[in-house]
Structure 1
Amino acid sequence: MAGILFHLIPFEHAALDYIAIVFFVLNALLFLTVLSMSILRYTLYPEIWKVMIQDPVNSLFLATCPMGFATLIEMWVFLCVPHWGDWAKTMAWGLWIVDALAAAAVTASLSFILISQNYVTSLERITALQLLPIAATIVASGVGAEIADILPNAQHAMGTVIVSYVLWGMSTPMAMMILVIYYQRLAVHKLPSRETIVSCFLPLGPLGFGGFSILYLGKVARQLLGESNVIDPMVGHIAYVLGLLLSLLMWSFGLIWLVFALATIYYRSPFPFNMGWWGFTFPLGVYAANTILLGKEMELIFFKVCGTILSSAMILLWLVVATRTVHGAWHGVLFHAPCLQNLKEKMDDSQNDATNDEA
């Protein structure tokens, strides 16, 4: 996300694009490394997959895979397409189709698993992590809008816009419902523990990129329908105006959650470093992206400056978290898989059952 913000910052400078390229390469290498390690892990030890998918917390992080892939596609659109031409556009479109299918599958499957299993049986166990499967589809819809903006074929672009609207409609209302439940949980059971305090930033994710997506979709729809002979061009203008208003409303709603998050961090500090600290970066980054897009569309310096400040804060935070992650990984004190405890318990139960059968 840091590389995307370097590209989106409205106060342009040539150095920002070079820094964005560096972050793009680093993110691509990191994504491929983690993906390869995960595939190898579940291939060699398939029993871990069964335990992980049944874990009420760890299974939700599967949604970060299509989200991470979507940000790489977005950087490909920004950095590679302008230099490499039509084949790069076609490749971006194909990769987005794969990502959209994966995101929709994750949203539907993990959400159904959550409501069909006896994982969460009390309001106290509700966390903002339940937004992760929903956010994957919201991110796919926003990237779809950016893909449609570069496609040379108008029919392909219009189809991409329609699918992106469907993805947005599948996910954003669900995210709003979860936010209502999460607020009730906070009101009744108060703030989460220090170990999971970083999750208080997660509501900024669907609100930030949800606003970005609907505004960008309206922008592209206005352009495409303005050239259409089938649908009244006024529909495109309506889509743009509605997108602008919804984006502004979601930005405003996100603002109060940002205040809640900052107040929570101040109230609960200090708190231990863990891999959950990466939950700071993406929600803040997409909220900054929506702020910048609002500034560009309305030509308001306020949003441009606020977006730049939020982007700078997110980039500094990314550097801090990345440094502490490398330090913790080097000393072997960072990575922990709680779901493996469930595997140990299942193996012990199986051994006990076998012993009883023999007896």
Structure 2
Amino acid sequence: MAVSLRQTGTGTTRLRRGPLRDLDHPARVFALLGPNWFASVMGTGIVANAAVTLPLQFTGFRVAATVVWALAALLLVGLSAAWLVHWIRHPATAKGHSGHPGMAQFWGAPPMALTTVGTGTLLLGKDWIGLDAAVTVDVILWTAGAVLGIATTVWIPFRMMTGFELGIGNVFAAWLMPVVPPMVSAATGALLVPHVPEGEAQRTLLFACYAMFGISLFATLCVLPQIWQRLVLRKTGTLTNTPTVWIVLGPLGQSVTAANLLADAAQPVLGDPYAKAADAFGLLYGVPAFGFALIWLALATALTVRAFRNRLPFALTWWSFTFPLGTVVTGASTLDARVHTGLFAVTACVLYAALVGAWATVAVRTVRNGYRGRLFTESVAVGEPPER
């Protein structure tokens, strides 16, 4: 690797050029690798998955979406391998992530990354590997993501209730991260229902998805008022944390998506009157929840514009601009599929264009800072120190 020389007051310092030049040693790339990195898989995967649901399609669109899915799959494999190395070489740091009140929240990212890539395999990957193989991959990834997601929904809140000293100053939107995975599993599991054996297997999967819908929905209703209170009383906190306000869109948009996809899955499985009730719930829950999602989108956009005016620095929290927005796109698309109104169709397409722009911006910045090694020097200081 090429080096250059820099004269300092105490002598000459050798400076590396090329990749990872901001690190003391290339192996340090694994030293601080936290679960928050899996947000990049989520953000990339939702770009592909949301494309399939859009009411507007054109030539080459599906192929492009499939390429993005493949990129998300490669990211998942690469990050999983790197995270394994991190656990082997730096076990104390790896365990410390779950003991940090900020970074612990991002344990919700790996299960959502698994289910997102699994769904992309079923929706898009089947064009390359065949339907049977795609269903098998999705079943494996969905099952792993669902189990791990339920675990984080219990484990991280338990740690917060028993091991962390927290106050209103510690509340930030990433508190939703550990409890959103079951909602993602509910939405993606609905797509698997037609591919499992008819009868008891389909009913079991459908009811499990509805149960996970409830788990995440009621947990979100517990956390969301605290986030609102924090933003009103203590503002957004550090600039780096500002993008996390977009995370609130995740459970909102995903719940709309889940309610409507589950309604579709329930039609041949449950029969009337429950199938009609599920269909009505998808619409009557989905529209009000989507309305609140749009209001939060406006608030998040205003807060983000304000942060950019104050020179918002780049950090991995920027990936919060992607997956949550993608769930609002899929929510709008599922509502359009149910009622076929131009309102939801136009909203889905406009927000998808914004999603692609956000993803491209964040991806380029991640590659640039990752190439230099700067991103791998970030500490676990996400959130704010406990109040005294």
Which residue of structure 2 aligns with residue 349 of structure 1? none
TM-score using structure 2 length: 0.82
Quote how far apart the aligned CAs of 1:206 are. 0.5
In structure 2, distance between residues paired with 1:33 and 1:251 = 35
CA distance in 1, matches of 2:69, 2:328: 19
2:20 maps to none
Counterpart of 2:82 (choices 19, 27, 37) is 37
Q: Distance in 2 between matches of 1:124 and 1:131?
A: 16
Secondary structure at the aligned position of 2:233 is classed as: helix
Structure 2 counterpart of 1:354: none
Partner of 2:364: 323
Give deviations 1:336-359, integer Å, cap 9, x for gaps: 342499xxxxxxxxxxxxxxxxxx
Pick from 102, 113, 118: which aligns with 2:164? 118
Separation in structure 2 between the aligned mates of residue 94 and residue 142 of structure 1, nearest angstrom:
16
Shift of 1:90: 4.1
Q: 1:308 to 1:340 in 2, by over 3 A?
A: closer
How big is the shift at 1:193?
A: 2.2
- SS where residue 374 of structure 2 aligns? coil
Cα distance in 2 for partners of 1:265, 1:61 equals 21
1:292 counterpart (296, 321, 333):
333
Query: Residues of 2 paired with 1:280 and 1:28: CA distance?
Result: 20
Which residue is 1:147 aligned to?
192
What are the within-5 Å matches in structure 2 for residues 275-286 of structure 1? 275-286=316-327
Counterpart contact for 2:111–2:144, Cα < 8 Å: no
Measured after TM superposition, the shift of residue 91 of structure 1 is 4.1
Percent identity, aligned pairs only, is: 25
- The CA deviation at 1:80 is 3.5
Distance change (3 Å), C-alpha of 1:28 and 1:88: closer
Structure in which a larger fraction of residues adopt helix? 1
C-alpha distance after superposition, 1:115-160 (max 9, x if no partner) = 111242x112100010000111111111111111333533322211
Q: Which residue in 2 is equivalent to 1:239?
A: 278
Q: Which residue of the partner structure matches residue 299 of structure 2?
A: 260
Alpha-carbon distance between aligned partners in 2 of 1:97 and 1:302, rounded to the nearest angstrom: 35
Matches within 5 A, 1:166-315: 166-226=211-271, 233-269=272-308, 270-315=311-356
TM superposition shift of 1:253: 1.4
Shift of 1:256: 1.3
CA shift digits 1:265-291 (9 cap, x unpaired)? 122223111111111100001111101
For the residues of structure 1 that align with 2:66 and 2:133, how far apart are their CA atoms? 20
Structure with more relative contact order (C-alpha pairs < 8 Å, separation 6 or more): 2
Quick check: 2:121–2:137 contact (8 Å CA) kept in 1? Answer: no
In 1, Cα distance between equivalents of 2:54 and 2:197: 26
What one-letter code is carried by the residue in structure 2 that aligns with 1:2?
V
Name 1:105's counterpart in structure 2: 151
Aligned position for 1:60:
105
| Residues 62-101 of structure 1 mapped to structure 2, 5 A cutoff | 62-81=107-126, 84-101=130-147
1:87/1:262 CA distance change after superposition, 3 Å: closer
- Secondary structure of 1:149's counterpart equals helix
Deviations 1:12-59 (A, max 9, x none): 223111001110111111111111111111122221222111011112
Aligned equivalent of 2:50: 5
Provide the rounded CA distance (Å) in 1 between the counterparts of 2:215 and 2:194: 22
SS at match of 1:111: helix
Alpha-carbon distance between aligned partners in 1 of 2:245 and 2:381, rounded to the nearest angstrom: 26
CA–CA separation in structure 1 for the residues paired with 2:243 and 2:284: 29
Output one character per residue of 1:226-285: Cα deviation in whole Å (capped at 9) or x when no partner. Answer: 3xxxxxx21111121012211112111111111110111122223111111111100001
Alignment of 1:153-164 (within 5 A): 153-164=198-209
Alignment RMSD: 1.8
Task: Give how far 1:81 is off.
Answer: 4.1
- Note if contact 1:218-1:244 (Cα within 8 Å) is conserved in structure 2: no
Bigger mean CA offset, 267-276 vs 63-72: 267-276
Instruction: Measure the CA separation in 2 of the matches of 1:137 and 1:160.
Output: 13
Q: Look up the equivalent residue of 2:274 and give its one-letter code.
A: V
Q: Does the Cα contact within 8 Å between 2:193 and 2:206 map onto a contact in 1?
A: yes
Q: C-alpha separation between the residues in 2 aligned to 1:280 and 1:51?
A: 26
Within 2, Cα distance between the matches of 1:57 and 1:31?
Answer: 23
State how far apart, in whole Å, the 1-side matches of 2:148 and 2:179 are.
Answer: 12
Cα displacement string for residues 311-340 of structure 1 (whole angstroms, at most 9, x for unaligned residues): 111011101111111111112222234249
Measured at CA, do residues 119 and 36 of structure 1 come closer, stay the same or move farther in structure 2, by a change above 3 Å?
farther
Structure 1, gaps ≥5 residues long:
227-232, 342-359
Work out the CA distance in 2 between the residues paired with 1:49 and 1:2: 29
